[in-house]
Amino acid sequence: MLIKTNKVLKQRAQRLAKEMGLPLGTLVNNYLRNFIIDRQAVFNAPMPNKKTIRAIEEARRDIKAGKNLHGPFDTVADMMKSLNS
């Protein structure tokens, strides 16, 4: 059987599955089994667009580099002070 999917989505899913030590086919088969058993399609989160993905990747790079980080804060007032500065 051939299932058409977005090329970039598939590549990203394959990379993540590999990092987790799972073949992508195992994840797809699991989803399909649950779809059959539950008779429902589950959409947990919206697909981010390219701009959102870039922002997330940039934030992850910043976290890894230890830059542009703020907090933790003891109070909301401290957080607001940081946000407004």
pLDDT tens-digit map of 38-85: 999 888 777 778 898 899 999 999 999 999 888 889 999 999 999 898
Domain spans of the chain?
Answer: 7-84
74/76 Cα distance (integer angstroms): 7
Which tokens belong to 76? Answer: 């909301």
The enclosing H or E element of 15 equals helix 7-19
- The token pair at 46 is 């919206």
Return the pLDDT at 15.
Answer: 94
Give residue 14's pLDDT. 95
The pTM of the full predicted model, rounded to 2 decimals, is 0.48
Phi, psi of 39 (to 5 degrees): 55, 40
pLDDT of residue 1 exceeding 80: no
pLDDT of res. 85: 86
